[in-house]
Homo-oligomer: A and B are copies of this chain.
Amino acid sequence: MKIGLAVEALAALAQESRLSIFRLLVQAGKEGVAAGALGEKLGIPPATLSFHLKTLTHARLIKSRTEGRFVIYSANFSEMDKLIAYLTEHCCAGDATQCAPINKC
């Protein structure tokens, strides 16, 4: 992963509404959640929600598919894992015993 993409992903998550959206989608799994349902659950007006969804999508953290009139969003798990790997890369000068364990997803 290149630093620019990591910064973009972190910036996308560094905002309360977007972090809530992302975590909700992580918890929802592959099936995802419709845009409207997200907005209703989080109390975010349509235009604002759309702005945040675009930001998360551009950062590759979420993806969407269209089903009829609905746009269903879901987390991009492999990109999340890449980001985490980037943060922990070459941790502790190679001495893994120094590092606390990371919970598996």
Interface, chain A (partner B; CB < 8 A): 3-4, 6-7, 10-11, 13-16, 19-20, 22-23, 26-30, 77-78, 80-81, 84-93, 95-96, 98-105
Q: Is the CB of A88 within 8 A of B26?
A: yes
Do most interface residues of chain A lie in helix, strand or loop, or is the interface mixed? helix
Given contacts A29-B95, A96-B105, contact A87 B90 (CB under 8 A): no
Cβ 8 A contact of A91, one of B6, B10, B26: B26
| 7 intermolecular pairs with C-beta atoms under 8 Å apart | A4-B16, A7-B14, A7-B15, A29-B92, A84-B103, A92-B105, A102-B105
Q: Is the CB of B88 within 8 A of A103?
A: yes
By a CB distance below 8 angstroms, the chain B residues around A90 are: 26-27
